[in-house]
Amino acid sequence: MKKLSSNRVFGGEHAQYSHYSEANKCDMTFAIFLPPIALGKGKEAQKVPVLYWLSGLTCNDQNFMQKAGAFRAAAELGIAIVAPDTSPRGESVPDDPDKAYDFGLGAGFYLNATQPPWSAHYNMYDYILNELLPSVQQTFFVNKHSAISGHSMGGHGALTMGLKNPDIFTSISAFSPICNPVNCQWGQKAFTHYLGDDKQSWLEYDACHLLQNASKQVPILIDQGTDDDFLEEQLKPDNLIRVAQMSDYHLTLNMRSGYDHSYFFISSFIDDHISFHAKCLFADE
């Protein structure tokens, strides 16, 4: 693991690292914020829980870290934040032939691709769960407690990874998530290329299907702006709420009047999400 950069912020440290991923067959980059207590600043160091943040289409590991304004709350509550990149990258990694923003580089959709040529590299699900999480726990002063959050495509990733792994993640949150990708253009395009034409296999990465069949309820918080240009055609939170009501699965969806799809929206409510996760991450203490 190679440290690429480091910045002091709110008494803690933000750093960017690269390491080789066997799942994605390329070097991957991620960013981590460690709060002061994990560094022993002012008192004896303590291991801290981790909030994993998954970013959306076209983003990388730095969008959230630089724009969300999450460090003050994370520093005060003693929570580390880890933000992976949104896809594999490199000269050998295939991209959308048309260079579209919603598929290929920057658009890994947090799944394991089964169709060539994508299957050789686009395995973000395995990368995050089986490589990044263990590496973070082995390398940094963090404990075993983890939560997951994300935005848009990353909100889809947070919901699906959290619902599929309720014994790993204590809580799930999302801003403007793609809630029902099998029924929207973004999801249908990505799933067709990554997973093929068998739509039954798509359901393993659809939050509506996973929530309907969940064996264990994990606390879920979602914030969605009413002025989001993608709300009706791509995000479809009403579908998730409908399934939750039918399945008696309790989740919180806040419709925020006048807010859009941007990081202005995320930065307005990120403290609420960090506090929400803190209650779950520290529940055993």
Residues assigned a catalytic role: 152, 228, 261
Structure tokens at 187: 């999801």
Structure tokens at 42: 């002012």
Q: Which residue in 134, 57, 54, 127 sits closest to 88, CA to CA?
A: 127
- Rounded to 5 degrees, φ, ψ at 12 are -105, -160
- Cβ-proximal residues to 129 (8 Å cutoff; 6+ apart), any chain: 161, 165, 168
Backbone torsion region of residue 218, taken as left when φ is above 0, otherwise alpha when ψ lies between -120 and 50, otherwise beta: beta
Residues 201 and 111 sit within 8 Å (Cβ to Cβ): no
Helices (H) and strands (E) in the chain, counts: 11, 9
